[in-house]
Copies of this chain bind each other. A is one copy, B any other.
Amino acid sequence: MSTSPKLKLYEEFALIGRALGNAHRLDMLEHLAQGEKGVDALAAKTGLSTANTSQHLQQLKRAGLVDSRRDGKFVLYRLTDDNVLALMAALFGVGERNLASVNKVLRDYFQARDSMEPVTHDELLARTRDGLVTVLDVRPADEYAAEHLPGAVNIPLDELENRLSEIEDAPEVVAYCRGPYCVLSFEAVSALRKRGINARRLKSGLPEWRAAGLPVETG
């Protein structure tokens, strides 16, 4: 006795839901949104074991959220398309609006480091045209190399202290990293402000910028 076709479809969609139903996998999706990565490389970023990472990736693949290709002895994974980013944005949106626990974390941690309104895409575009702003990419060098905002300077967060001289006379700094909840840019903005540098944060990260159809640079 076959179940109804609708439930059969919902069974498939539920597979996607379950794939989104684990914090580590959401983290992996955020990292993959920066650019394709091998299993080991991703495991290093997320702090999971290789085998565990591989299994999570296969779950994401079965759900159609990521795709893979072989390059030599590496298997490189990437998000299947920008709709996956849109799905994550919808998920995060519902969480921010409807879950008190989410708002508590946002207040206690994120707003404590950056209470100012983040800079929107349009705002940043307008200011860069006037040459008023230094765009700061605080992600690790490999992610910057894969793709970054046009004209952005790369200073990974853990080097920021030692390389302050490179930006300390900029009239305004806008920092960004991997996405809306990436801690790097929050920490960076907080650190820069303490040194009296006029710093703000981009509302979202590189993947959202690209998904909005805005230009990126590589290399």
- The proximity string for A residues 70-105 relative to B, scoring 1 for CB distances below 8 Å and 0 otherwise, is 000000000011011011001111110111011001
Nearest to A62 among chain B residues (CB) is B99
The answer to whether the Cβ of A65 comes within 8 Å of any Cβ in the partner chain is yes
B65, B94, B102: the one contacting A83 at CB < 8 Å is B94
User: Roughly how many angstroms separate A12 CA and B109 CA in the complex, as a whole number?
Assistant: 15
Contact A8 B65 (CB under 8 A): no
How many Å from the CB of A47 to the closest CB on chain B? 10
The answer to whether the Cβ of A217 comes within 8 Å of any Cβ in the partner chain is no
- Beyond the given A6-B181, A64-B95, could you list 16 further A-B residue pairs with CB under 8 A, ordered by the A residue number? A4-B183, A5-B110, A6-B27, A7-B23, A7-B24, A12-B101, A13-B23, A13-B91, A15-B21, A16-B94, A18-B18, A64-B94, A64-B97, A84-B94, A87-B90, A87-B94
> Which residues in A have some Cβ–Cβ distance to B below 8 Å?
4-27, 63-65, 80-81, 83-84, 86-87, 90-95, 97-99, 101-102, 105-106, 108-110, 181-183
